Amino acid sequence: MELKPCPFCGNKKVELVEEYEHTSLHHGGWAYVVRCNFLKGGCGAKGGARETIEEAVLLWNRRK
């Protein structure tokens, strides 16, 4: 699935990562997150953690 650019800064180098999240949704565990990496010219924006790659990408691509 293709990732849309960051809705805040327009950076096209957004990335899908797997990281440990401790939220009410996940109760602690590994989850997928799309982020606009500030180390690669982005602004640091981050989509919500999701249990599957597809869910994380769909959530990111719906942002405006």
Cα 21-26-30 angle, rounded to 5 deg: 45
Residue 48 confidence (pLDDT): 87
pLDDT for position 44: 96
pLDDT in tens, 16-64: 999 887 766 556 788 999 999 999 999 999 998 898 999 999 999 998 6
Q: Note the pLDDT of residue 25.
A: 59
Euclidean distance between the first and final Cα of the chain, in Å? 18
Span 2-19, average pLDDT: 95
